[in-house]
């Protein structure tokens, strides 16, 4: 996973699949990203153009079977 203030990309190096996480979940103003126990946590200040605190949990094992554009993210803080 690669992140900047405006973009979050997840690339599976084994399959070559790319996921544009900020587009999938309509998040912006990315503040932080960490990886703990096979899960990425992304903290953003905007979701669907609404200002707030949004902490999203992404399980990398689940992403292999499921395209994130088809699922609701696991919001820790919403």
Of the candidates 69, 68, 71, 26, which has an alpha carbon nearest to the alpha carbon of residue 48?
A: 26
Number of domains the chain is built from: 1
Q: In what order do the strands lie in the sheet with 50-59?
A: 27-36, 39-47, 50-59, 74-77
The pLDDT, as a whole number, for residue 33 is 92
Alpha helices in the chain (DSSP H): 21-25, 60-65
pLDDT, tens only, 49-76: 999 999 999 887 776 555 555 567 777 8
Can you tell me whether residue 6 is helix, strand or coil?
coil
Residue 9 is part of which domain span? 2-77
Whether pTM exceeds 0.85: no
pLDDT, tens only, 6-44: 888 888 788 888 888 888 888 999 999 999 998 889 999
């Amino acid at each position: 996973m690669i992140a900047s203030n405006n973009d979050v990309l997840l690339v599976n190096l084994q399959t070559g699949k790319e996921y544009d996480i900020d587009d999938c979940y309509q998040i912006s103003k990315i503040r932080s990203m960490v990886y703990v126990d096979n899960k990425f946590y992304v903290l953003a200040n905007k979701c669907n153009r609404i200002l707030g605190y949004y902490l999203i949990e992404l399980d990398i094992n689940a992403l292999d079977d499921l395209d994130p554009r088809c699922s609701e993210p696991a919001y820790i803080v919403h």
